[in-house]
């Protein structure tokens, strides 16, 4: 039954640490944590290492200030708090792909203050729009591969890389197929369910996740949701894994029919195109992927992508979210809102912290939804 599929996604998220420990005990293989989706999981899968994304628990962080500035974003502080509290004590290593200053500090504080066997920093170029970005990243990935080979004591072959690429591409392809069911007048899946699908893929063995996705895609065409889809919304901006917020908004006669953040569509929107040079193929994917704002310059290419999604999924309004103190996303909020306004899509900004003040947010979101339904009645 389809509800069992969603229950499993939810269970994998809620019991992510227990899942990882059980996987490790069952396979005897290593687990590496990563903070940012610019880390090429293909290479970790090629090395038979399970990558798991390090995310927070949405508890007020009380242990991080000796190690990281309080004015850094809630995501990086919450992630570090989980490490300091020992919740990721099963990790054999951590890897980070250069993203923002805040996550760099989290990586360095973890490396310095939390016992860990292996660490590696991948210098992912910020200037992904330059012609030098792909060859540069390819060289960085070669260093990463060599570092892993030294650590695990064996070579990573082209066949290994092919396997890693195949697993990741299959996972992305299946999730994109699920996204197609959000385009319908009456979507067959809610925004919360999609978030749990994508989040669980970042925390579990993707081969296992792929099997569940295949089951979901068999049953989804015949699904009928017993709910009013209401207002068609986009959620866009900083990293967001706040499932409580998603549920609360969708309980207000609304449905998130599309998302654009790194725990959603940005994670899965493009694949690795096969190439004789496997590392070059992987580098090309990560340079040409839908960019994080920390890399989306001198032109804001992601904004056009957001506009295209808004049209494809026929949204009526967008919640533009920004994690507190997240400068890269903050910089793009004005042009993003202006671009959506130009195609007739109203937007509303919300600033997220480690915990979300739903009482205040509810009033604001309800007012925004009322303006959208009011506009519909006028036309």
* pLDDT, average across residues 155-169: 98
Give residue-wise pLDDT tens across range 215-251: 999 999 999 998 999 999 999 998 888 999 999 999 9
For residue 48, give its domain range: 2-160
The lowest-confidence range among 23-32, 99-108, 183-192, 241-250 is 99-108
Q: Which stretches of the chain are assigned E, i.e. beta strand?
A: 31-34, 50-53, 93-97, 118-122, 231-237, 254-260, 317-323, 347-352
Q: CA-to-CA distance for 123 and 353, rounded, in angstroms?
A: 28
The lowest-confidence range among 159-173, 198-212, 277-291, 345-359 is 345-359
Q: Please indicate whether residue 238 or residue 268 has the higher confidence score (pLDDT).
A: 268
| Residue 21: inside a domain | yes
| Residue 98: inside a domain | yes
Give residue-wise pLDDT tens across range 62-97: 888 888 888 888 888 899 999 999 999 999 999 999
Half-sphere exposure of 337 (CA within 13 A, CB side): 14
| Residue 10: inside a domain | yes
Confidence of residue 106 (pLDDT cuts 50, 70, 90): very high
pLDDT at 328: 81
With CA atoms as reference, report the closest residue to 350 among 342, 339, 361: 361
| Residue 106: inside a domain | yes
Tokens of 119: 């660490």
Q: How large is the angle between the packed helices 191-201 and 2-14, nearest 10 degrees? A: 60
Confidence of residue 375 (pLDDT cuts 50, 70, 90): low
**pLDDT value at 117 more than 70:** yes
**pLDDT value at 377 more than 60:** no
Longest dimension (CA), the chain: 67
pLDDT at 292: 87
pLDDT at 355: 77
Domain count within the chain = 1
pLDDT at 70: 82
CATH of the domain at 88: 3.40.50.11890
pLDDT at 379: 43
| Residue 94: inside a domain | yes
**pLDDT value at 20 more than 70:** yes
User: What are the DSSP calls for 166-220, one per residue?
Assistant: HHHHHHHHHHHHHHHTTSSSS-SS-HHHHHHHHHHHTTS-HHHHHHHHHHHHHHG
- Describe the strand order of the beta sheet including 347-352 as a list of residue ranges: 254-260, 231-237, 317-323, 347-352
| In contact, 137 and 283? CB cutoff 8 Å | yes
Cβ neighbours for 16, distance < 8 A, ≥ 6 positions apart: 52, 203, 204
Residue at token pair 């860990």: 116
Residue at token pair 């068999």: 218
Q: What is the dihedral of CA 234, 239, 242, 245, to 10 degrees?
A: -30
| Residue 210: inside a domain | no
pLDDT at 378: 43
pLDDT at 294: 85
Confidence of residue 103 (pLDDT cuts 50, 70, 90): confident
Share of the chain above pLDDT 90, in %: 77
| Residue 63: inside a domain | yes
* pLDDT, average across residues 110-130: 93
Q: CA-to-CA distance for 260 and 113, rounded, in angstroms?
A: 33
Q: How far is CA 315 from the centre of its chain?
A: 21
Confidence of residue 29 (pLDDT cuts 50, 70, 90): very high
| Residue 16: inside a domain | yes
């Amino acid at each position: 039954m389809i509800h069992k599929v969603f229950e499993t996604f939810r269970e994998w998220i809620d019991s992510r640490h227990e899942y990882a420990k059980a996987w490790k005990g069952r396979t005897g293989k290593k687990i590496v944590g990563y903070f940012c989706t610019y880390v090429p999981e293909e290479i970790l899968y090629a090395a038979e290492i399970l990558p798991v994304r390090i995310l927070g628990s949405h508890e007020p962080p009380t242990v991080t200030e000796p190690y990281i500035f309080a004015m850094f974003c809630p995501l990086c502080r919450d992630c570090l708090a989980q490490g300091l509290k020992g919740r990721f004590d099963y990790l054999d290593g951590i890897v980070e792909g250069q993203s923002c200053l805040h996550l760099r500090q989290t990586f360095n504080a973890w490396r310095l203050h939390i016992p860990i066997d292996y660490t590696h920093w991948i210098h992912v170029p910020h200037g992904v729009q330059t012609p030098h970005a792909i060859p540069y990243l390819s060289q960085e990935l070669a260093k990463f591969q060599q570092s892993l080979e030294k650590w695990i004591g064996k070579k990573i072959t082209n066949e290994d890389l092919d396997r890693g690429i195949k697993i990741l591409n299959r996972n992305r392809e299946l999730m994109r197929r699920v996204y197609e069911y959000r385009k319908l007048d009456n979507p067959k899946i809610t925004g919360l369910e999609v978030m749990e699908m994508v989040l669980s893929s970042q925390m579990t063995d993707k081969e296992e996740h792929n099997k569940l996705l295949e089951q979901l895609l068999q049953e989804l065409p015949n699904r009928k949701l017993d709910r009013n889809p209401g207002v068609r919304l986009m959620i866009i901006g900083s990293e967001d894994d706040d499932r409580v917020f998603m549920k609360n908004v969708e309980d207000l006669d609304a449905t998130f029919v599309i998302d654009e953040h790194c725990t959603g569509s940005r994670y899965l929107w493009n694949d690795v195109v096969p190439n004789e040079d496997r590392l070059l193929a992987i580098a090309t994917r990560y340079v040409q992927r839908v960019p994080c704002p920390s890399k989306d310059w001198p032109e804001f290419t992601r904004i056009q992508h957001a506009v295209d999604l808004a049209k494809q999924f026929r949204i009526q309004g967008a919640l533009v979210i920004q994690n507190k103190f997240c400068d890269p996303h903050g910089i793009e909020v004005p042009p993003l809102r202006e671009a959506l306004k130009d195609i007739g899509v109203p937007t509303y900004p919300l600033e997220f912290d480690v915990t979300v003040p739903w009482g205040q947010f509810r009033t604001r979101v309800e007012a925004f939804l009322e303006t959208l339904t009011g506009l519909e009645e006028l036309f």
